Homo-oligomer: A and B are copies of this chain.
Amino acid sequence: MKMTNYQQLTRTFLRLSRFSHLSSIASWDMFAMMPPGGSQARGEALAEMSVLTHQILTDKQVGQWIDGAEQENLNDVERANLQEIKRHYEQASLLPEALVEAKSLAGSRCEHAWRTQRPNNDWEGFSQNLKEVVKLSREEAKLRAEAKGCSRYDALLDIFEPQMTSARLDALFADLKSWLPDLLARATEKQAQRTLIAPEGPFPTATQRELGLEAMKMLGFDFNGGRLDVSAHPFCGGVPEDVRITTRYNENELFSALFGVIHETGHARYEQNLPREWPGQPVQLARSTAIHESQSLFFEMQLGRSEAFLTRLLPHIVQRFGDQPAFAPENYVAWNQRVKPGYIRVDADEVSYPAHVVLRYEIERALIDGDIEVEDIPTLWDEKMQAWLGLSTKGNYRDGCMQDIHWTDGGFGYFPSYTLGAMYAAQLFHAARAALPQLNADIAQGDFSALFDWLRQNIWQHGSRFSTSQLITNATGEDLSARYFRAHLEARYL
């Protein structure tokens, strides 16, 4: 029996998803397990695989199947899947193979060297590698922009956030900028009136790990299909059937790793609860990076740092590390809701976090659009950090522009997702609370089932069936608005 065009496509994408499985695990390994000497061979292996998948995906035949499938009789899910297939095909077809391979190689090289360059504060060395990554990303942006008829930066943004534009982003961030600096100042001032007792370590790594595993269990992480490990830069990787999250431990700091784990658990639960009815098909992938981040921030910020959840968590902490003055309930809650502008984005509180993102957004947009060069980054970074948070990063590259891993991989266009995610999370939590009047009592009793059912029903189970706008409108009654994020911050911090 002759296969339909649509069947040819699903077979091709199933095959691609299996190759992507191997790359995902090898990438996780690269960050979590691999010794330094394996770096070059691993980079080459992953690059070879990205060339292969690029070849398969961009085969002219795929384009013909897409054209054919559009005339075929498809149900709603298949139609949505075809649309995603088309999006992936078009995105990939714009790039010549040589560029794909060069980007993958340059990214691996830059990331690998960063691991030793960052502790050495070696901007000189790092920027050499980064220049190559930027050069290749600009080439990519140019090709994409010409095909889509948009600005170069918008063309990259579209990879992570389909339908998002810098015009819309500018509007959302302008809203934010109109009230956030004032809110940040007032929150900081309010908190300055109270002296908090800092937790006193050491907090042994092994015990921190056990606590993290316990939090993952509370939050429904499926250990039959996932793991917790360590990497320099925490992330959620692997595949939906086997989700790998990582964190990093500091024996003097208890809550950084713990909330890192809770954050990645939000990402993981999204992955673990994506639909599985259409094996290997793009329609069962996560909707976008901002929606992904909304799930991790839902877990970390909306739920995780709420007074009800913190209170629920406290006995587990005391049980493992013994009691101490910092763990007096009021002090402990206040400590975990501190607003304390700092250098490091991943350790930032949710009020100052958007500053880190807007800063990077403005720099990376200028970088891709060719308005600035790699050499200009440290000065711009310092200026913007001074303006937003009053902190100087002059000469301190390690805690400045070398703190992140995103640019090393050429992931320009990704950073806005963090703050979009925070906004989506607030909007979703608001809707969930409206739908679940018992929510606070449930959380206090450690019963998150209704909340997770709500997420499963409204977000997780849909994969990429709907556009982001549709998805968020179906779930909350309206498209993305910054006002729920503002209301959340005001309620918690003012």
**B-facing residues in A1-50 (Cβ within 8 Å):** 15, 18-19, 21-23, 25-26, 29, 33-38, 40-42, 44-46, 48-49
When distances are taken between beta carbons in the complex, the residues of chain B under 8 Å from A399 are none
Judged by a CB distance under 8 angstroms, whether A285 is at the interface is: no
Give the residue of B25, B36, B38 whose beta carbon is less than 8 angstroms from that of A239: B38
A241 at the interface (CB under 8 A from B): yes
Alpha-carbon separation in the docked complex, A238 to B44 (Å): 15
Distance to closest chain B CB from A63 (angstroms): 22
Residue A224 interfacial (CB < 8 Å): yes
Residues in B neighbouring A37, C-beta threshold 8 A? 222, 224-226, 241-242
B44 touches A18 (CB 8 A): yes
**In A197-228, which residues have CB < 8 Å from any B CB?**
222-227
> Are B239 and A41 in contact (CB-based, < 8 A)?
yes
Report chain B residues within 8 Å CB of A225.
35, 37-38
Query: Bound state CA distance, A228 and B40, in angstroms?
Result: 20
A226 contacts which chain B residues (CB < 8 A)? 35, 37
Of A23, A40, A44, most B-chain CB atoms within 10 Å: A44
CA–CA, A37 and B242, complex, Å:
7
Tell me how many chains of this kind the complex includes.
Answer: 2
Q: Is the CB of A223 within 8 A of B45?
A: no
Q: Which of A19, A29, A52 has the most CB of B within 10 A?
A: A29
Contact status B48-A15, CB under 8 Å: yes
Neighbour of A23 across the interface among B22, B36, B42, B242, CB < 8 A:
B22
Residue of B nearest to A40 (CB): B241
Give the total of A residues in contact with B, Cβ under 8 Å. 34
Q: How far is the CB of A305 from chain B (nearest CB, A)?
A: 29
Instruction: Tell me, in angstroms, the Cα distance from A22 to B46 when the chains sit together.
Output: 8
**In the docked arrangement, what's the CA distance between A33 and B242, Å?**
10
Complex CA gap A33/B34 in Å reads 13
Instruction: Report the minimal beta-carbon distance from A52 to chain B, rounded to whole angstroms.
Output: 8
B29 x A241 contact (CB < 8 A):
no
In the assembled complex, which residues on chain B have CB atoms less than 8 Å from the CB atom of A23?
Answer: 22
User: Are A35 and B239 closer than 8 Å at their CB atoms?
Assistant: no
Given contacts A25-B29, A26-B22, A26-B26, A227 and B45 within 8 Å (CB-CB): no
Nearest CB in chain B: distance from A50 CB, A:
11
Contact B35 A224 (CB under 8 A): yes
With contacts A35-B227, A48-B18 known, is A242 near B26, CB below 8 A?
A: no
With A and B bound together, what is the CA distance between A21 and B38 in angstroms?
11
Measured in the bound complex, the distance between the Cα atoms of B227 and A401 in whole Å is 32
Tell me how far the C-beta of A285 lies from the nearest C-beta in chain B, rounded to whole angstroms.
14
Q: When chains A and B are docked, how far (Å) is the Cα of A227 from the Cα of B19? A: 25
CB contact between A48 and one of B19, B34, B38 (< 8 Å): that residue: B19
Distance in angstroms between the alpha carbons of A18 and B23 in the assembled complex: 11
A227 with B40: in contact, given A26-B22, A26-B26 (CB under 8 Å)?
no
Q: What residue in chain B is nearest A16 (Cβ atoms)?
A: B48
**Bound-complex Cα distance A300 to B223 (A):** 36
Task: Note all chain B residues with C-beta closer than 8 A to A44.
Answer: 18, 21
Over the window 226-238 of chain A, the binary record of Cβ atoms lying under 8 Å from chain B Cβ atoms (1 yes, 0 no) is 1100000000001
Which of A33, A36, A52 has the most chain B CB atoms inside 10 A of its CB? A33
* Complex Cα spacing A15 to B25, Å: 19
Q: Determine the chain B residues whose CB is within 8 A of the CB of A238 once the complex forms.
A: 38
Chain B proximity of A8: nearest CB distance (Å): 16
Chain B nearest CB, measured from A486 CB (Å): 40
Taken together as a complex, chains A and B put the C-alpha atoms of A34 and B222 apart, in Å, by 13
Bound state CA distance, A26 and B36, in angstroms?
18
Look across to chain B and name the residue whose beta carbon is closest to the beta carbon of A17. Answer: B45
| Min CB–CB distance A48 → chain B (angstroms) | 4
CA distance A44 to B26 in the complex (A): 16
Cα–Cα, bound, A494→B42 (Å): 49
Known pairs A21-B45, A35-B225, A35-B226 / 18 extra A-B pairs, C-beta < 8 Å? A18-B48, A18-B49, A19-B52, A21-B41, A21-B44, A22-B23, A22-B26, A22-B45, A25-B42, A26-B26, A33-B33, A33-B227, A34-B242, A35-B223, A38-B239, A41-B241, A41-B242, A52-B52
Q: Which 10 A-B pairs have the closest CB atoms?
A: A38-B242, A37-B225, A21-B45, A18-B48, A37-B224, A41-B241, A18-B45, A22-B22, A25-B26, A22-B26
Interchain residue pairs with CB less than 8 A apart (13): A18-B44, A18-B45, A19-B49, A19-B52, A21-B45, A22-B46, A36-B224, A37-B222, A37-B241, A38-B238, A38-B239, A40-B241, A42-B241
